[in-house]
């Protein structure tokens, strides 16, 4: 049986365990300071955090994207040989189309595992975030956890 199945945890825009959009408490929206515009030319939004108190607030209600399709990362022969375990953080944007774009791994993480995680997250699909009901791009943070069972 498979003893090398990776565990996958999803964290959208750094928020884990959030309520469905219909039950969310409205948080002020801002234009993302990390990624103000994505590679498609869309403005990228985020919820205002403590470190963003000085950023101008965008009027409207911002809802988070919802994952529709998630793909498990493939474990390469090298990762299996090394019995790699650990977390890989993938940062990027969920476009207004629901696609994960502009993906990159965080510096200092295992190159083989990062490549595998990036390939998987590229295949994710989301119900896009909305700002007052209009689909918009938002920051994305996915944590892929590789664990040996």
- Burial of 71-110, coded b for 16+ CB within 10 Å and e otherwise, reads eebebeeebeeeebeebbbbbbbbbbebbbbbbebeeeeb
Residue 15: phi and psi, rounded to 5, are: -115, 120
Q: Give how far Cα 51 sits from Cα of 33, 55, 117, Å.
A: 10, 9, 28
Q: What 8-state DSSP symbol labels residue 29?
A: E
pLDDT digits (tens, 9 = 90+) for 93-135: 999 999 999 999 987 778 999 999 999 999 999 999 999 999 9
Query: 93, 100 in Cβ contact below 8 A?
Result: yes
Instruction: Please determine, for residue 140, whether its predicted confidence score (pLDDT) is greater than 90.
Output: yes
> Does residue 12 or residue 147 have the better pLDDT?
147
Predicted confidence at residue 52, as pLDDT, reads 85
Question: Which CATH architecture does the domain made up of 7-146 adopt?
Answer: 2-Layer Sandwich (3.30)
What local confidence, expressed as pLDDT, does residue 17 receive?
37
Banded pLDDT at 15 (limits 50, 70, 90) = very low
Q: What's the whole-number mean pLDDT along residues 54-62? A: 91
Residue 64 pLDDT exceeds 90: yes
Q: What 3-state class would DSSP assign to 3? A: coil
Strands of 12-85 (E only): list them: 29-31, 44-47, 62-63, 66-69
Average pLDDT over residues 54-83: 91
Contact indicator for 38, 100 with CB cutoff of 8 Å:
no
Selection from 2-11, 38-47, 74-83 with the highest mean pLDDT: 38-47
pTM (two decimals) = 0.79
């Amino acid at each position: 049986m498979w003893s090398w199945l990776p565990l996958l945890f999803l964290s959208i825009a750094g928020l884990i365990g959030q309520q469905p959009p219909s039950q969310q408490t409205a948080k002020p929206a801002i234009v993302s300071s990390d990624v103000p515009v994505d590679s498609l030319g869309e403005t990228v939004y985020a919820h205002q955090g403590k470190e963003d108190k000085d950023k101008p607030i965008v009027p409207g209600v911002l809802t988070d994207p919802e994952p529709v399709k998630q793909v498990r990362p493939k474990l390469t022969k090298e990762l299996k040989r090394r019995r790699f375990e650990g977390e890989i953080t993938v940062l990027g944007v969920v476009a207004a189309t629901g696609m994960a774009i502009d993906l990159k791994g965080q510096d200092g993480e295992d190159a083989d595992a990062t490549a595998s995680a990036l390939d998987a997250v590229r295949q994710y699909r989301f119900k896009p975030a909305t700002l007052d009901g209009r689909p918009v791009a938002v920051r994305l943070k996915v944590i892929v956890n590789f664990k040996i069972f």
